[in-house]
Amino acid sequence: MAMASAGYDRLAELKAFDDTKAGVKGLVDAGVTAVPRIFHHPPEPAAPPRPSSSRPDHHDVVTNSSIPVIDLASLGVTRAELVAQVKAAAETVGFFQVVNHGVPEAAMSDMLASVRRFNEAPVDARRPFYTRDAARRVKYSSNYDLFWAPAASWRDTLFLDMSPTPPSPEEIPPACRDIVFEYTRQVQSLCSALLGLLSEAMGLHSGYLDRDAGCLDGLSVAAHYYPPCPEPHLTLGAVKHTDATFLTVLLQDGVGGLQARVEDSWVDVPPVPGALIVNVGDFLQVMSNDGFRSVEHRVVAASDGPRVSVACFFRPGGPAASTRVYGPIVVKDAPRYRSFTAAEFIGSYRDKGFGGRPAQDRFRL
């Protein structure tokens, strides 16, 4: 990696930051008042005029959200009507929020509190978990793509591979150890129900995506901590990207900052008390032959906060993940993708870098 300009050695600055093993939280604790250059993001290209934006530095944000909120236990709503609501959201926006979803509010609040406790513990308590060893089932770091992304994001992450082979309790930071197994068990149950609705939305039997396609086999958790940023207009909490998943179920606190790309605009995904956010992943877009949409999303940086979120990524896992072939399941006209293995897809996702062109585009026919 070459110097960007005289006197600026980007690689050296990246290494110096990573060697602290303190993450972005360490910068904030040190009293930083300016965002270091390694975190500077170039402005996005201008988009067509849209309604007024609450974050003009990141252009073109629609604050009157069009993200559907679906009540999974609404009285008087039939199963067919619920399937139709989920189908419409998956086909048009690719994002929706669910309420009355069965995950206890106590588990949700405890999960968020545990992530906050871990990140706000003294740095000496966090450092033992800081690693870039991909083989570890529990990894704490700042920006998994730190050394190849064009710019770092204002975010630290505790990443846990929970299924099919969960970590031992001793591998998990004490701050999160008591809640993470219970929380992920509850979210797995919710995801099974959602996959049933989406299976029926595709015209398949309710157990297809869960059991036949193995969409519930693998689960990884990314617990993100976004410290308050002194110059939020210069950086992002997470660059625009899609998820290499079947489904993602996200728990966010009340700070906000998540945005989804809807048509030509960034749309806020506002915090809704008691809700969980669901978005379609790349695998499900391929399997639905573009019937469902895996849309770009991002997190803007903010001076308030910190912001805490917990993403549950449901993706291929277990022994079949390396050999199972994925491709369009329901084809009304012609298939739009060639078949591929999970390993081939994930490899393409990593090769393109976080925030690059959606990985599924590389498999289009």
Q: Could you please report the per-residue DSSP string of 226-264?
A: E---S-GGG-EEEEEE--SSSEEEEEE-SS--EEEEETT
Check if the beta carbon of residue 253 is closer than 8 Å to that of residue 309.
yes
Phi, psi dihedral angles at 358 (to 5 degrees): -50, 135
Amino acid 14: pLDDT? 98
Amino acid 55: pLDDT? 39
Across 202-217, average pLDDT: 95
Amino acid 225: pLDDT? 98
**Does the pLDDT of residue 148 top 70, yes or no?**
yes
Give tens-digit pLDDT for 92-124: 999 999 999 999 999 999 999 999 999 999 999
The residue ranges of every structural domain in the chain are: 13-41+51-363
Confidence band, pLDDT 50/70/90 cuts, at residue 3? very low
Indicate the pTM of the whole model: 0.91
**Does the pLDDT of residue 358 top 70, yes or no?**
no
Reported as half-sphere exposure (CB side, CA atoms, 13 A), residue 13 has a value of 17
How far is the C-alpha of 361 from the C-alpha of 359, rounded, in Å?
Answer: 5
Which amino acid is it at 226? Y
Give tens-digit pLDDT for 334-351: 888 888 888 787 776 555
**Does the pLDDT of residue 4 top 50, yes or no?**
no
**Does the pLDDT of residue 169 top 60, yes or no?**
yes
Check if the beta carbon of residue 180 is closer than 8 Å to that of residue 171.
no
Amino acid 142: pLDDT? 98
Across 134-158, average pLDDT: 96
Across 139-158, average pLDDT: 96
Amino acid 31: pLDDT? 97
Nearest 10 degrees: Cα torsion 123, 128, 129, 132: 110
Phi, psi dihedral angles at 96 (to 5 degrees): -155, 160
Q: Average pLDDT over the chain, rounded to whole?
A: 89
**Does the pLDDT of residue 308 top 80, yes or no?**
yes
Question: Does the domain at residues 13-41+51-363 carry the CATH identifier 2.70.150.10?
Answer: no
How far is the C-alpha of 280 from the C-alpha of 284, rounded, in Å?
Answer: 6
- How many other CB atoms are found less than 10 A from the CB of residue 336? 18
Q: Where are the beta strands (DSSP E) in the chain?
A: 61-62, 69-71, 95-99, 138-141, 156-163, 218-226, 236-241, 247-252, 258-262, 265-268, 276-280, 297-300, 307-315, 325-326, 340-341
Choose the weakest-confidence range: 268-277, 304-313, 350-359.
Answer: 350-359
**Does the pLDDT of residue 172 top 70, yes or no?**
yes
End-to-end CA, the chain = 34
% of the chain exceeding 90 in pLDDT:
76
